[in-house]
A and B are shown apart, each in its own frame.
Chain A
Amino acid sequence: MSKRMNRREFLTRGGAVLAASTLPLSLVEVAFGKTDERNFTFAFISDSHITHIRGNEFVRNWDRGLVRAIAETNLLSPKPDFIMYGGDIAQLGKPEEIDHGLELLSKLNGDVHYVMGEHDYYLDLGEYWEKQLGPQWYSFDHKGVHFIVLNSILTYDDWMHKKWDSGMARMLQMARLDNPQGSPFMVGETQRQWLKDDLAKVSHDTPVVVFSHSPLQKIYKGWNFWTEDADDVQALLKPFSKVTVFYGHVHQIQYNQVDNMSFHAAMATAWPWPYPQSYAQAKSYMPKLTVQMNRADPFFERDATGWQFIDMDTGDAAMKYNLYDNQNRTVAYNDASGKPEDQRYQAAENRIPPQDHY
């Protein structure tokens, strides 16, 4: 049964803010000091799931989500130094989908770095994506920060190569949640060796930023909010003073601190995921829901989707979530508590009560 608030209750409920929270038309910087010339900013878009229907038809809603994020990113001033794309350009990895997504993304004013998502990968094991975008894992340095991009959505060789009689059959399995036929994501030994070699060239006081598609932490296996060898990857990152991991895949706000590593999830431009229910094939560590996001309003196609831009203050990240039909949120590292915290809603008394009138 829906519970409604009448207008009197609503009008007398104090504390409502008139203006929506504003997103200043600027990026805050990766700051090494207030005047350091190395200060810079970047934007982060993820999970557009461009879906081919037939011929030149694509699912309009997913197209529009990406188009809008791109247009808004182009408005940012000062311009971000580059844009990260967090994976899942496509829904079923089809060349039509990847091409259409890249055509839309070509309107971004600036360099874009791409992360491989499972929806980009499992049709042809990344062949077309790689042809269009280059290596599936790589690193680069930018103004004093070392950036690493991993393909974290690989799985066991037998599952990939021997279990399915077609690429599409394999893709459709990996596109499902709660799939007993599925297989856990992993970075894998080859890439971990590459990562080890790559990190060997980086001083331990350099801020390190890692991009993966799946979380490099074990959250919920049933939906692959999970990376099987996360512990091994984390071990390689332990010696560094400041590590920040950004991931997509989960279509929701998540943040966490593990030792020296801050974790931040990106919103999707396509659709939001709710928090998973505890259906589990194996022991899982359900995410602890600390700040309830308002349930997405089904009347607003973009509600609970969004994109974000990143401020890294002395190597600590603040994720600024640009959300539609909703309050923008900032999750920033809190020096005092040593972990990322929501800037507005972490304190229980400041939270927006979840809607219950649907």
Chain B
Amino acid sequence: MCRLLPACLAFSAVVSGLSLSVVSAAEVPLGLPPLPVPANNPQTDAKVELGDKLFHDARFSTTGEVSCSTCHDANKAFTDNLKVSKGINNLTGTRNAPTVINAAYMETQFWDGREPDLERQSTQPFINPVEMGLADHQPIIDVVQKDPEYQAMFKQVFGIAPDKISMTEVTQAIAAFERTLLSGNSAFDRYYFGGDKTAMSEQQVRGLDVFIGDGRCVSCHTIEETQALFTDSRFHNLGVGFKRIRDSVNETAAQFVMSKQQGADVDVAVLTKANMSELGRFAVSEDVTEVGAFKTPTLRNVELTQPYMHDGSLETLEDVVDFYNNGGREQPDDPIDDFQSGGIRPLDLTDQQKADLVAFLKALTSPEYTHLAKSQD
């Protein structure tokens, strides 16, 4: 009885409105699907190099101390291991930094999917008051237009004079760099797609069974026939963090909608206002079925990307497994969020099953990051 279904296609969104070329499956690591690349932003080595430089440039923040890589650190599996990220002057937002590894495959970007693709995603943190803090994108344009190194690189990549460099080229280069951060070929991939039955330990094999069966994880963290992204690209309300607005959800939603109608910026509102952050996907869609719903994250390299959930409220994989086992609650007797997705329910896993599941999740670490793992299973 195989229960590994492809992520639901009928309602899925195309990664961007543009036509896409595809880096074929043969060129990506084992266990990953072909890479979608926008036709208007093809991958080139020089562009990737430029994007790499931009990604690590702290001059694009008001303090000159924060870059993309501050919260998406290569030495921390492209996240920051903080509960919620720190921007300029140690200001904190409301959300846990998702890893950029395999973000190229995500059908929407951010926890609430408020941007459709990597190009659009990268425009936001620069001008968020608790991230890089710029009032607008002009300081970035000023830097890249005047810096001789950038001048030469933009000329080489896009064939444009310095005064023609705009945020379009900046974000295209950053996205091209991010599209190289692909990681598969984990123990799971070698076991499941590569046919190497010794790649996972016996406990991890048992854990895969829990993942697919009693744990119900695969319902949202999908595994397909030839590849696995461990996300259905949908939005679900698990009950995480919802207690913050349990008694004020109607006011919070009404307030949010009103301020959005008056021109408030969604990106700023959800990162600076704890209550509004908890509205999740609703903040984007204003659809009442998406109150408190957040995007299913990939589970690849999950061993390295603690703490977990959109608000970083769960510290360890064990905590996460307990949370799901309690039906979307930290404690078994906590109240349940009225808006909770139907798929979340108490699981009654045994201690052995829970331990096996955690062991399996550690089989999702890719070789290039295993040196960052605390435990070597």
Contact = CB atoms under 8 A, between A and B. Distances in A.
Contact of A19 (B5, B6, B9, B13): B13
B15 A11 contact: yes
Given A10-B9, A68-B340, A357-B9, A23 B22 contact: no
A205 interface: no
B279 to A, nearest CB: 10
Contacts of A355: 8-10
A243 B231 CA distance: 47
A322 B34 contact: no
B115 to A, nearest CB: 10
Interface residues of A, number: 50
Interface string A55-84: 000001100110110111011110000000
Given A24-B286, A323-B289, A325-B234, A72 B11 contact: no
Contacts of B14: 10-11, 13-14, 16, 18
Nearest to B346: A60
Interface stretch (A133-141, A192-200, A297-305): A297-305
B93 interface: no
B338 interface: yes
From DSSP, what is the main secondary structure of chain B's interface residues? loop
B286 A25 contact: yes
B36 interface: yes
Interface in A310-358: 322-328, 352-353, 355, 357-358
Interface stretch (B152-160, B167-175, B250-258, B302-310): B250-258
Contact of A322 (B219, B234, B249, B289): B289
A17 to B, nearest CB: 7
Contacts of B219: 299-300
B342 A301 contact: yes
Interface string B93-117: 0000000000000001000000010
Interface stretch (A1-9, A28-36, A180-188, A224-232): A1-9
A357 B342 contact: no
A294 interface: yes
A17 B219 CA distance: 23
Contacts of A68: 338-340, 342
Nearest to B339: A71
A65 B340 CA distance: 10
Contact of B253 (A4, A25, A353): A25
A114 B320 CA distance: 41
A235 interface: no
B264 to A, nearest CB: 15
A174 B14 CA distance: 46
Nearest to A60: B345
Contact of B12 (A8, A10, A22): A10
Contacts of A71: 249, 291, 338-339
A64 B253 CA distance: 21
Nearest to A65: B342
Interface string B79-104: 00000000000000000000000000
Contacts of B286: 22-25
Contact of B342 (A20, A25, A300, A323): A300
A12 interface: yes
Interface of A: 4-5, 7-8, 10-14, 16-25, 60-61, 64-65, 67-68, 70-72, 74-77, 294, 297, 299-302, 322-328, 352-353, 355, 357-358
11 contacts: A7-B36, A10-B9, A11-B36, A12-B19, A25-B254, A64-B336, A77-B253, A302-B342, A324-B289, A325-B11, A357-B5
